[in-house]
Copies of this chain bind each other. A is one copy, B any other.
């Protein structure tokens, strides 16, 4: 067991425009496109959860690719999700809820399907990662940079708070912190664990993703386990449910889930594409985040001077 200490945070402070900076008029997308290959970090296939929905009305396949979070965030639920995928538990379940400007949710509509044995009951303390003590990396992690441990770097780099918390990015993920804890934040496309009233009742079998304005009030009240990195349009463009909370009222409306698998465990003739994210510790990301906060490209006449963390989506792309 080893301790990991890699934390980095991006300081997002509006800087006045100097003469040199005025020449840096690249749009955020152009900065990303120009980022050197070394600034991109590979996403392991073992961290990808692939959901295949039933084909759409035009017989087109609908695949949604989810990247799971690294330890120490939500590790218990993610272990459960790996077990559920290995047990092919989601096959034959469905998308059951689509609430406009909020979430799409999927799982077993009957709420009666037996769960595989060995799932953990994860306590609410796991909604956050405590920074006071280093957190051990799971033994199966090959890249220690994927683990988060101490608060030293973070605390020496204070981040401008928004209305919810101080926030920034570590290892490609948007995180909030109060100085003693860190936690993932509910940005568009983040994937979380549905639960009942008691905060330890979410197993990971019932999942949702955000399809609207960031519902940050859910931060620290529900577990986030990953984010959709490809195919979110197959969820966000579904018809909205007309029942309470956007649940579909009839079985016909539900969208069948054919399968949900960890990419490295998929049996397929055609290998899944590889994905990579723009390292949030790279100079390219710093420039991108600054450009998101201070648009200087031609269309913009008044740079905002700031950006909330969910308005700085971490770039993810298919690797060549």
Contact with B along A179-201 (1 / 0, CB 8 A): 00000000111000000010100
Please report the C-alpha to C-alpha distance between residue A201 and residue B187 in the assembled complex, in whole angstroms: 33
Task: Kindly state whether residue A302 has any CB partner on chain B within 8 Å.
Answer: yes
Of the A-B pairs whose beta carbons lie under 8 Å apart in the complex, a sample of 27, sorted by A's number, is A127-B302, A162-B163, A162-B308, A163-B293, A163-B304, A164-B305, A187-B213, A188-B212, A197-B298, A197-B299, A212-B212, A213-B214, A213-B310, A214-B311, A216-B304, A216-B307, A216-B311, A217-B292, A217-B304, A220-B302, A221-B295, A221-B301, A233-B240, A236-B236, A237-B237, A237-B238, A237-B239
Instruction: Determine if B236 and A101 form an interchain contact, defined as CB atoms under 8 angstroms apart.
Output: yes
Complex alpha-carbon distance, A238 and B236, angstroms: 9
Known: A217-B292, A217-B295, A311-B215. A304 touches B188 (CB 8 A): no
User: Would you call A124 and B292 a contact (CB within 8 A)?
Assistant: no
Q: Whole-angstrom distance from the CB of A316 to the nearest CB of chain B?
A: 13
Judge whether A163 and B307 touch: CB under 8 Å. Answer: yes
What residues make up the interface of A, taking CB atoms closer than 8 Å to B? 12, 57, 98, 100-101, 124, 127, 160, 162-164, 187-189, 197, 199, 212-217, 219-221, 232-233, 236-240, 292-293, 295, 298-308, 310-311, 313
Bound-complex Cα distance A311 to B187 (A): 12
Which applies to chain A's interface (DSSP): helix, strand, loop or mixed? Answer: loop
B301 near A124: Cβ-Cβ < 8 Å: yes
Question: Contact: B306 with A164, CB < 8 Å?
Answer: yes
Task: Give A238 to B292 CA distance when docked, in angstroms.
Answer: 27
**With A101-B188, A301-B124 known to touch, is A308 a contact of B216 (CB < 8 Å)?**
yes
State whether B160 touches A163 (Cβ < 8 A). yes
Distance to closest chain B CB from A306 (angstroms): 4
Minimum distance in angstroms from A264 CB to a CB of chain B:
27
Instruction: For residue A96, give the distance in angstroms from its CB to the closest CB of chain B.
Output: 16
